[in-house]
């Protein structure tokens, strides 16, 4: 049965190859025929123009031109008359047509010889291109005809029920007929385990980050309950601490919700025409008003750069980079904004600082959620900002280019296009 199916598929494959081959030959011969006709006309017109210039001294467009003797090809004559009808030139055409016809015939013969050799090569190419499709068709046909016995169904059920919640354990049916199902289910298991690990890590990190502000708020609430009504200093300190921690917790929850909505596909981009220079200039002016501790500078591009993007989200990503630069740059040190194009002509937005910089090991994890390097744990933050910025840039089909030196500063560039892995230089 299998051999018969393979034979049938092979015949079907040969039939498809033949159809494609004849279609290719038809197009090729049609192209050659068009070229030969064009060449024939060009040679005839060229010979006539050459004869008129040689015999009359010039080519006058106002002269009358006629072909006579059309009823007998051997008596075909080309005649040129002036405006008064006087005969200026009379040329027998048949012998010239014979010569041109022989030339065209030689060209056509060369084309046919080339077509023959191409025919053999093209058949190989068509079979090579169709080979994977044919293999898939054979496998699909084999699977569709496969009949599972009750024993095989029992094998699958037993293997699944005996599977332990162990990261290393995989399904094994011990049957060659079930290898395809085994591989597919093991791939699904690995993806499910990866997803579960990511979710578990995310929940653990979120719980850890929320635990601190909740503990602080609870502690100061207890102080208020004990001494707040009698001690004004304790009252003011507790209120200030609770306000600060609740604001921090609110910001953290908003970031968590943004990432959760993004992961679930609920956050949609509103693409519109964005002038990058205008967007970066707005961030520059806002930074001057918000942060008086650092001098800001904006390098305007030589040309206006326009992209299709979600202006609100793109601005949020740049603001995250700006906030990080301000946080890790010493007071009085400069932060520089710029807009431009890469050598390949791809638009980018860039934030550069002269701050503490990053180690290479930290750069590799800087976009991980809740990741914070040891050197910056003393600075306030959630470890979610750069994860949000990366989500936004990924959704725009862009990537990051990062250049950082410890103690010298960091340059982060958002490249909007030609999506690829972030380029990192430490």
162: in domain: no
Residue-number span of the structural domain to which 121 is assigned:
2-145
147-176 pLDDT, tens digit per residue, is: 556 666 666 666 666 666 555 667 666 666
114 C-beta neighbours (distance < 10 Å), count: 12
**For residues 286-292, average pLDDT:** 88
50-76 pLDDT, tens digit per residue, is: 888 888 888 777 888 888 776 777 778
In this structure, the answer to whether residues 353 and 396 fall within a common structural domain is yes
260: in domain: yes
385-399 pLDDT, tens digit per residue, is: 888 889 889 989 999
292: in domain: yes
In this structure, the answer to whether residues 237 and 306 fall within a common structural domain is no
β-sheet with 87-92: strand ranges across: 64-68, 77-81, 87-92
pLDDT of residue 44: 84
In this structure, the answer to whether residues 232 and 352 fall within a common structural domain is no
Percent of the chain at pLDDT above 90? 16
347: in domain: yes
221: in domain: yes
In this structure, the answer to whether residues 359 and 396 fall within a common structural domain is yes
In this structure, the answer to whether residues 254 and 276 fall within a common structural domain is no
Q: Would you say 393 and 321 are in contact if contact means Cβ atoms under 8 Å apart? A: no
Nearest to 352, CA basis, from 276, 304, 397, 295: 295
Q: What is the mean pLDDT of the chain?
A: 77
169: in domain: no
**For residues 281-306, average pLDDT:** 90
Of 8-22, 41-55, 111-125, 326-340, the range with the highest mean pLDDT is 326-340
End residue of a domain, out of 117, 145, 173: 145
In this structure, the answer to whether residues 24 and 105 fall within a common structural domain is yes
> Which phi and psi angles does 205 have, rounded to 5°?
-65, -40
**Which H helix or E strand runs over 112?**
helix 94-145
Q: Two tokens at 282?
A: 């707005």
Number of helices followed by number of strands (H, E) in the chain:
9, 11
End residue of a domain, out of 227, 248, 265: 265
* CATH at residue 216: 1.10.287.130
Ramachandran area for residue 91 (φ above 0: left; ψ -120 to 50: alpha; else beta): beta
Q: Strand pairing partners for 351?
A: 337, 412
In this structure, the answer to whether residues 278 and 421 fall within a common structural domain is yes
**For residues 239-268, average pLDDT:** 75
CA angle 254–256–258, rounded 5-degree value: 70
Lowest mean per-residue pLDDT among 19-28, 134-143, 248-257: 134-143
pLDDT greater than 80 at residue 228: no
pLDDT of residue 247: 77
pLDDT of residue 3: 45
In this structure, the answer to whether residues 245 and 285 fall within a common structural domain is no
pLDDT of residue 375: 60
Count of domains forming the chain: 3
Burial class (CB in 10 A: 0-12, 13-18, 19+), 184: exposed
Alpha helices in 162-275 (DSSP H): 179-223, 232-263
The 3-state DSSP class for residue 89 equals: strand
End residue of a domain, out of 102, 129, 145: 145
In this structure, the answer to whether residues 212 and 306 fall within a common structural domain is no
Percent of the chain at pLDDT above 70? 70
In this structure, the answer to whether residues 258 and 314 fall within a common structural domain is no
- CA-based R_g, the chain, Å: 39
In this structure, the answer to whether residues 61 and 91 fall within a common structural domain is yes
170: in domain: no
pLDDT of residue 284: 93
In this structure, the answer to whether residues 296 and 421 fall within a common structural domain is yes
**For residues 292-314, average pLDDT:** 91
103: in domain: yes
Q: Which residue has the higher pLDDT, 412 or 95?
A: 412
Q: Would you say 193 and 167 are in contact if contact means Cβ atoms under 8 Å apart? A: yes
């Amino acid at each position: 049965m299998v051999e018969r199916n393979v034979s049938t598929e092979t015949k079907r494959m040969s039939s498809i190859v033949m159809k494609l081959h004849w279609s290719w030959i038809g197009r090729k011969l049609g192209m050659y025929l068009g070229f030969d006709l064009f060449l024939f006309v060009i040679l005839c017109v060229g010979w006539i123009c050459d004869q008129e210039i040689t015999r009359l001294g010039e080519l006058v467009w106002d002269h009358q031109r006629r072909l006579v003797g059309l009823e007998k090809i051997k008596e075909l004559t080309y005649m040129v008359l002036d405006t008064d009808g006087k005969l200026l030139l009379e040329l027998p055409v048949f012998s010239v047509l014979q010569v041109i016809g022989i030339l065209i015939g030689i060209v056509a013969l060369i084309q046919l010889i080339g077509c023959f050799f191409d025919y053999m090569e093209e058949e190989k190419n068509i079979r090579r291109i169709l080979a994977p499709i044919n293999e898939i068709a054979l496998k699909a046909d084999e699977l569709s005809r496969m009949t599972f016995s009750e024993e095989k169904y029992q094998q699958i059920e037993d293997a699944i029920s005996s599977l332990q919640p162990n990261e290393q354990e995989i399904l094994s049916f011990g049957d060659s007929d079930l290898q395809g199902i085994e591989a597919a289910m093991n791939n699904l298991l690995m993806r499910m385990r990866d997803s579960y690990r990511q979710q578990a890590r995310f929940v653990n990190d979120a719980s850890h980050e929320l635990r601190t502000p909740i503990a602080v708020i609870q502690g100061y609430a207890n102080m208020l309950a004990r001494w707040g009504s009698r001690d004004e200093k304790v009252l003011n300190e507790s209120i200030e601490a609770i306000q600060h921690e609740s604001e921090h917790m609110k910001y953290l929850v908003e970031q968590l919700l943004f990432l959760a909505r993004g992961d679930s596909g609920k956050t949609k981009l509103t693409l519109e025409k964005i002038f990058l220079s205008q967007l970066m200039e707005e961030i520059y002016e806002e930074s001057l008003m918000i942060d008086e501790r650092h001098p800001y500078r904006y390098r305007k591009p030589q040309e206006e750069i326009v992209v299709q993007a979600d202006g609100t989200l793109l601005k949020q990503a740049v603001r995250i980079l700006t906030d990080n630069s301000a946080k890790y740059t010493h007071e009085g040190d400069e932060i520089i904004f710029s807009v431009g194009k890469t050598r390949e002509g791809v638009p980018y937005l860039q934030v550069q600082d002269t701050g503490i910089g990053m180690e290479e090991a930290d750069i590799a994890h800087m976009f991980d959620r809740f990741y914070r390097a040891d050197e910056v744990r003393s600075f306030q933050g959630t470890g979610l900002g750069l994860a949000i910025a990366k989500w936004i840039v990924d959704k725009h089909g862009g990537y990051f280019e990062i250049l950082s030196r410890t103690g010298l500063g960091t340059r982060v560039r958002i490249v909007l296009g030609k999506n690829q892995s972030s380029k990192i230089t430490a």
